[in-house]
Structure 1
Amino acid sequence: MDTLKLAFKMYENEDSREIAEDDLAVILEIMLGVKEVELSPLFLQLQASDMRKITYDELQCLIKQRPHFSVDCLNFKDHPRSDWTGRLQSCNGQSHNKDN
């Protein structure tokens, strides 16, 4: 959250303390390591789809209310796990099964 807050300070409008949807998308893409993030679900959650701007406090509140924020409020284009529905079988190429 500290990194997110710092990013907001860099991009936000000094008067309204809001950042635009495009700027938030760039921040989240960098922080989450994804190619492209679609924020329509986020703004629908905020019921603010027409203004497409958000403050840090609004986003922080939404994140606290939604334990699965990235799944519930964001869509990812070409995410490596976009069609993944199961549990990871291995990390770093090693099996974590006790029988192997």
Structure 2
Amino acid sequence: MCTNILIHTQLEGAGFGRKGWFPVTRANVTYDHPFHIDLEHAVTVDFVDEAGGLDARVGVELTVASARALAEALLAACAEAEAYESGGAARG
């Protein structure tokens, strides 16, 4: 069965790769056959600088459960950061 889910989002940030730090301008999130983990399918997140070519890319392959846990952790961190920035107390 061919599964090919691909979602793009524009980003503003930085990543660390083979040649050091580079701008991160986009994330490509896929659900497809992984290259490095022994699963039939995985969620892959590629953080890329579209102008930087292959040297400006960091890829991560995750199980679906791990991808969900990461998404939940990101949302929790954003909620705490927003609370902190608005004058509330952050955990720490």
TM over 0.5: no
Structure number with the higher strand fraction is 2
TM-score normalised per structure 2: 0.27
Indicate the structure whose relative CO is greater, using CA pairs within 8 Å and at least 6 residues apart: 1
TM-score by length of 1: 0.26
State the structure with more CA Rg.
1
Higher helix share: 1
